[in-house]
Amino acid sequence: MRSFIFATLPARVIFGAGSLIQLPAELHALKAKRALVLCTPEQRGLAARVSDILGAAAVGIFDRAVMHVPVETAHEACQVARSLEADCAIAIGGGSTIGLGKAIALDSSLPILAIPTTYAGSEMTPIYGITEAGLKRTGKDLRVLPKTVIYDPELSLGLPVHMSVTSGINAIAHAAEGLYSHDGNPITKLLAEEGIAALGRALPQLKQHPQDPAARSDALYGAWLCGSVLGSVGMALHHKLCHTLGGTFNLPHAETHTIVLPHALAYNATAAPEAMSRIARALNASNAPSAVYDLAQQNGAPIALRDIGLKAQDLDRASELVMQNQYPNPRPLERAAIRALLQNAFDGVRP
Ligand code: NAD
């Protein structure tokens, strides 16, 4: 076995159907008495429910979380937190809402309690992103890692099937790249394989029965494990590609991950055989890239970048941008092969 370093990130996880009801006790454990609840406009009703559960311990709702955490929104939310003398922020929602919580924590060191309702995994990472003048600045800071995470599968019962599938494959992407990460270790590999297997079981089930409590529970459990991998080890080509495509061409986050992942895996396949066999084993298949592609296609997710807004003329620029910075990846970045990868993802070719 190779030498490795393993560091556990500090987080308290409460998992289980109905666990939202434990929120007052968890707030108390954080010694917080004045919580600001964060949400998107669409999830205002859920935030109001949280506020009702907390009673006087909820001092307000900020319902303007949006994708990519614009710096103006972050400033506004910080200002509201200050004016209400909040001593904690509760982020209920997907990666965008949790990202807003992280921006508040970065500014003020307020503790964040996260209640995820998608499978994106941000709640398990010390990674933040803030968008200013069209550019998303990302960084790592332990202050932004939520202190407590409540995973209540009942809160994702209404997540539409197409979002469940793409968000679930977004989570799988964290684990898949974790399996060939330059700083991976045996523990994160266990988490990754288990996380992929749980989502691989859950997504087809959710396609048939979106309200199936056991499948919702499996999917959230898988998302937790995959998010833990993202928080613990470095990502590679796939995440770089998605960051570029999302940031420069404004493509939707989870769909982009879903479409690109099979092609990024195909690119790295011969350089990362152990990772490929673990992914394939987790998905009960013989070939990792095509198994991920099939999981997406058979469950109704988009499989071509041209179907989510990328233009053919963007492909050259995208591959230029991806080539600009070299970073750890099992297979070195080769210009022509990256361009071919993007073309395949654009056309939705099965790898
Ligand atoms: P999102 O948070 O943008 O949510 C998309 C939409 O779905 C929103 O309108 C939201 O209100 C709605 N929604 C969320 N849960 C729902 C539910 N259960 N039922 C119905 N509607 C629901 O999407 P996302 O994919 O969760 O997050 C994407 C963002 O998170 C991106 O900006 C990405 O960069 C970021 N992210 C960050 C990290 C990190 O570690 N920093 C990790 C993953 C994702």
Distance from C-alpha of 319 to C-alpha of 301, rounded to nearest angstrom = 24
Q: 91 phi and psi, to 5 degrees?
A: -100, 115
Q: Which of 43, 44, 112, 118 to mutate to test the pocket of ligand 1 (most atoms within 8 A of CB)?
A: 118
Dist CA 156 CA 8 (whole Å): 27
237-249 and 315-324 are packed helices; what angle lies between their axes, rounded to 10 degrees?
Answer: 130
Which amino acid, one-letter code, is at 349?
V
The conformation of residue 21, written as its DSSP 8-state character, comes to G
Ligand 1 contacts CB of residue 94 (under 6 A): yes
Report how far residue 245's alpha carbon sits from residue 247's, in angstroms, rounded to the nearest whole number: 6
Which residue positions in the chain have pLDDT lower than 50?
none
The residue whose CA has the least distance to atom 32 of ligand 1 is 68
Given ligand 1 and candidates 39, 43, 92, 144, which is best to mutate, with the most ligand atoms within 8 Å of its CB? 43
Instruction: Enumerate domains of the chain plus CATH numbers.
Output: 12-156 (3.40.50.1970), 161-347 (1.20.1090.10)
**pLDDT one-digit tens code per residue, 59-92:** 999 999 999 999 999 999 999 999 999 999 999 9
The average confidence (pLDDT) of the chain is 96
**Is the beta carbon of 156 within 6 A of some atom in ligand 1?**
yes
Q: Whose CA is nearest to atom 28 of ligand 1?
A: 95
The finding on whether 227 has its CB within 6 A of some atom of ligand 1 is: no
| CA 297 – CA 294 distance, rounded (Å) | 5
Predicted local confidence at residue 137, as pLDDT: 87
- Position 259 scores a pLDDT of 98
